[in-house]
Each structure stands twice: as C-alpha cells, then as structure tokens.
Amino acid sequence: MSADFTPTERTRLRRRPQRGHFDEATVFAILDAAVVCHIGYVRDGQPVVTPTAFWREGRRLYWHGSAASGALGAQAGAPVCCTVTLHDGFLVGRSGFAHSILYRSVMAFGMPAAITDLPGKRRAMTAFLARLYPGRSAELRPIQDDELRQIVVLTMELDEVSAKVRPGPVLEKEPADYAVPCWAGTIPLATTVGALEPDARLAPGTAPGASLAAYAPGARLEDALRAGARGEPT
C-alpha cells in the first residue's frame, strides 16, 4: 500500500495548498498526538458535530459510546467527516491581519461501521486502553460481556484524508509593516501532565502501575499519547 493518501475533490486544498499534506507520516503523527476528534454527520435532517475520544490502528479509526446513544446510531453506515486539531500556539503580528494560529489538523471522510460481536468489541476496547495506557489491561479485572453490550464501537477506514499544518513565522501583508515598532513573534502552547490525584477510596499503599509511567507530572501529553499509539511499554 502506498504511504500517501490520494487527494480528492473533498480533501484537496485550494487555498494555501502548500500547507496540505497527504503522507501517512504527517497524518498519523497528528492523529496519534490527539485523543479527541469531532465527528460531523446528519441526524434527523440537521448537521451535527459530536466530540468523542478516538484511537487509530493502521489506516483505521475507532470510537465508541453508549448503546443508547442516538448519535452513534446515526453515524453507523452513514457518511461522516472526522476532524482532529492540535493547537500549537499563537502568531502575533504587527497588524491585526497578520495575527494567526499555529495548528496541525486532519480531516477524514468515510462511512463508519459498527462492530457488533462481543469478541470484536473486546479486542477494540482493549486496544483503546492500550493506546492510552500501554499494559493497563493486565492490571485490571477483565471486561465483562454485559459492559460490552452497553456500548457501540464504530470503525472507519482512513482513505479520503488530508492534513493541514500552519507553521510560523509571522507573515505581514505589507512589507512596510515589518518596520512597525511593535513586538511580533510566536506564543508556543503545549498541554502538560499535572500531578496525579489518587482516588479517595484507593487502597492504602497502592501506587500507579507501569501503564501510567508516561503520565509523569510535567510530561508533554503528546509524548505520552504517541508512546501508546506505538504500543511502547512504559
């Protein structure tokens, strides 16, 4: 399989095409650094966008929710648009026009299908835990069949996909603006892990297991998520 995604009429960037990327490396790096996506679909004739946690395996995306959710029922077997955005900072210019936002984003079109068998759901949910906390399932009690019956798992092939990246530096509209005596530059942003907060009913002497080692206070969230996406032990 090619390591590139073929641009389509829906994924080809018409404005600032130099920011578009169709290679697996860029697309996967963005997806693997995120934990929440937004699913756009039509429900009862109205456009709806639902945020949800997701995970990736190869060229497939997965997400899940309650079996009682009308949203998942509307998404299964219907066309959807899935987007992921990482906010990397602010670009501060010398004119209002030159201010911008640093970001990395992915947009994917497809038609998700529901995983209905219990073994398939079990495998998918085990993979979801491993994506966030490598090795966590070995520390937990097994997933129960009744719990699996209460959820819906959707999966969608990554085929019609594009990434868009807005890098620096500041670009002023007028060359003369670079001489304006006003500070300009980049304000970087990053999400970091805070101090772990034990549950109030945690058994005395219980320490975080190896599956949580990537979430050390001060660690970058992206680094922890990417480690899980690669299946690396922590």
Residue 2 within a domain: no
Residue 34 within a domain: yes
| The pTM of the whole model exceeds 0.85 | yes
Residue 8 within a domain: no
Question: Is the distance from CB of 31 to CB of 84 less than 8 angstroms?
Answer: yes
Report DSSP letters for the chain, one per residue. Answer: --SBPPP-TTTS--SSGGGEE-BHHHHHHHHHT-SEEEEEEEETTEEEEEEEEEEEETTEEEEEEETT-HHHHHHTTS-EEEEEEEEEEEEE-SSGGG-EEEEEEEEEEE--EEE-SHHHHHHHHHHHHHHHSTTGGGGSPPPPHHHHHTEEEEEEE--EEEEEEE------SSGGGGGSSS--EEEE---B-------TTPPTT----GGGGGG-TT-BHHHHHHHHHTT---
Residue 3 within a domain: no
Residue 24's domain comprises: 17-229
Residue 185 within a domain: yes
Residue 9 within a domain: no
Residue 119 within a domain: yes
- pLDDT tens, residue by residue, 12-37: 988 888 888 999 999 999 999 999 99
- The list of the chain residues with pLDDT below 70 reads 1-2, 229-234
Query: How many domains does one find in the chain?
Result: 1
Strand partners, 42: 47
Residue 6 within a domain: no
- pLDDT tens, residue by residue, 40-49: 999 999 999 9
CATH of residue 115's domain is 2.30.110.10
